[in-house]
Structures are given as C-alpha cells and as structure tokens.
C-alpha cells in the first residue's frame, strides 16, 4: 500500500488550443516519464491535421501513447480505452513514480481516474425507435429529446455527435432515468494518486487561439485530409468538428469560407463544453495558460 502512494498520475486538463500538449511535454521531461493521450480523436491514424496531433518534434520530445494507435474502421469505445490505459499505466509505474495524462476528452479522463460507468442493457425496441426517429427527423430530434429528458448531460455532451446523443437518449427512455444519473457511480480502485492541473484563459483569448489554430490547419492541408476521408463520412470517428463542416462543403451545402467559419464556431462551442465539464472536476488546481512551468511543477511536487 505504501508503494502505491508513491505513484502519481499528473492530469493536464483544459479547453482545446490552450497549450496542454506543450505543458505535458515539459512536465514529462522534468520527471523523465511518459505521456498517455486521452484525446478521443487523436487515436485514429487517418486523422492528423484536423485533430491537432502533436508534431513529430513534440512526439519525439517525450514518449507518447494512444496516438494514432487505432483506425477509423475499428470500433473503439471509452470502455476499451479505460482497460488499455490502465494496463499501460500499471506497466509504466513499474519503473517510474510519475506518468502524465493529457487530453480534452472529459469522458475519457474520467474513465481513467474513476472507472467507466455501468449502464443497464437497453431493449432493442427502444434502440430501434431512437434510431428510426433520428433517421426520419435528423439530429434535432436527438437534441430536443435529450435536452428535455436530461438537461444536465445535454449541457456537456457533444451536441453534434449523433452516436453520443443516441446512446444517452436510449438510456433515458429505456430506464426512465436521466443518463447523467448513471455517471460516476462506480469508484474503481486505482494504484495511483491523481494530480489534476487545469489550464485556462479569458474566453476571448481561448477563442482567438482557436481561430488561429483553424487557420493553421487549413494552411497545412486540412481540406485535402477531409477530402480523402469524405467517402467514409458516416463513420463514428468522423462525426467530428473540422471534418463534418468540410463534408458539407463537398456536398455543396456550404461555401468554403462558410465551412471554415463553422469550424471555428463549433470548436469554440466545444471549448465551452470542455470547460463546463472540467470545472466540475474535484481537486483540480487551475493555472493561467501563461503561468511559468516552474510554478506548476512546484504545485505538483507539493501534492
């Protein structure tokens, strides 16, 4: 038990484009440890530019895991990630007292820290009904129904992701209880102590950084990457900001300029949801994104 207390998982959270990758590398270098990525879209090797995968230089600066380790054609769930991430952490902690977890996917962070929640089996009749209504009425049906049945979860869910919305709505209808009532019920034993570090900035700064990142993505080939993935647009992995808007451009529904503005707008909305989710995280210490690394390291060492 004494040995377990010496194992620390440094968790870097915060909205997209805030600087989590850079900070995680500096912390990993300081403690000579490795990084677990829990960005649910950086898992997929076909998606690079639109998911802001760390550069080759950044990947070389510290060992990373769970980046480009899956294909968009594989069915990879948060439950799968939890099991694989815990196995990897157990292995890393055999030779190091520290590891870093970084990423903007709050559900995946929670899965590693607390365990993936158990949900009851939902009758196939309910699942088929939700799927049929979605097919006939579109994503607005899912959004409206989930907003009424579970406003708490609806406030943080990715509202443009039909798979997430359908799953939550199925649980709401099938159990008669809000999807959120099943979250964070299971407390899995973990052989490490988490140290949570949050990065934040004024909202306009976050938005400006997002807009700049989208422009950089477009300048480095996001359009061509999205065009290559366009034939597979219905895959779950591609229900993602940055690709979905460009698919609308390829369909002739958006101009390119409008699609780019939609990417920026939807990414800003995503960042707002990330902050809503992460601000609920207990025991997180929040720092301004320009805080000196030394200040953050001192906080970690005093834990």
Q: Is 106 assigned to a binding site?
A: no
Question: Looking at 137-283, which runs of residues are DSSP E strands?
Answer: 193-200
Q: Is 21 assigned to a binding site?
A: yes
Q: Is 210 assigned to a binding site?
A: no
Q: Is 255 assigned to a binding site?
A: no
Distances (CA, A) of 270 to 96, 249, 276: 34, 21, 10
Q: Is 175 assigned to a binding site?
A: no
Residue 47, judged by CB atoms within 10 A of its CB (0-12, 13-18, 19+), counts as: buried
Q: How far apart are CA 109 and CA 147, in angstroms?
A: 24
Distances (CA, A) of 147 to 26, 127, 154, 201: 40, 18, 5, 29
Q: Is 20 assigned to a binding site?
A: yes
Q: Is 18 assigned to a binding site?
A: yes
State the alpha helices, DSSP H only, in 95-150: 106-114, 124-137, 139-149
Residues forming beta bridges with residue 284, ordered by sequence position: 196
Q: Is 267 assigned to a binding site?
A: no
Kindly provide the b/e burial profile for residues 137-162, where b requires at least 16 CB atoms within 10 angstroms of the residue's own CB. eeeebbbebbeebbeebbebbbbbbb
Task: Report the binding-site residues.
Answer: 14-21
Task: Report the binding-site residues for ATP.
Answer: 14-21
Task: Report the binding-site residues for substrate.
Answer: 16-21
């Amino acid at each position: 038990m004494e040995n377990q207390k010496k194992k620390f998982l440094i968790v870097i959270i915060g909205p997209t484009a805030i600087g989590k990758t850079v900070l995680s590398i500096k912390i990993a270098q300081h403690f000579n440890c490795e990084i677990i990525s829990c960005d649910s879209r950086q898992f997929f090797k076909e998606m690079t530019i639109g998911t802001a995968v760390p550069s080759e230089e950044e990947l070389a600066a510290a060992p990373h895991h769970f980046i480009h380790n899956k294909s968009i054609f594989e069915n990879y769930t948060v439950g799968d990630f939890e099991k694989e991430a815990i196995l990897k952490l157990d292995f890393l902690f055999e030779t190091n007292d520290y590891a870093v977890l970084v990423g903007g996917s709050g559900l995946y962070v929670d899965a590693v820290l607390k365990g993936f929640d158990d949900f009851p089996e939902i009758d196939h009749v309910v699942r088929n009904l939700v799927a049929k209504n979605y097919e006939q009425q579109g994503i607005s049906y899912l959004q409206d129904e989930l907003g009424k049945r579970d406003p708490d979860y609806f406030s943080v869910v990715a509202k443009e992701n039909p798979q997430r919305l359908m799953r939550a709505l199925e649980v709401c209808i099938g159990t008669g209880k809000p999807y959120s009532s099943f979250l964070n019920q299971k407390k899995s034993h973990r052989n490490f102590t988490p140290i949570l570090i949050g990065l934040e900035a004024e909202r306009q700064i976050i938005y400006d950084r997002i807009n700049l990142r989208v422009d950089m993505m477009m300048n480095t080939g996001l359009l061509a990457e999205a065009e290559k993935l366009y034939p597979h647009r219905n895959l779950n992995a591609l229900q993602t900001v940055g690709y979905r808007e460009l698919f609308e451009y390829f369909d002739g529904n958006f101009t390119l300029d409008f699609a780019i503005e939609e990417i920026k707008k939807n990414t800003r909305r995503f960042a707002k949801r990330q902050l809503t989710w992460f601000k609920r995280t207990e025991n997180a210490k929040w720092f301004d994104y320009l805080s000196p690394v030394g200040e953050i390291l001192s906080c970690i060492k005093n834990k």
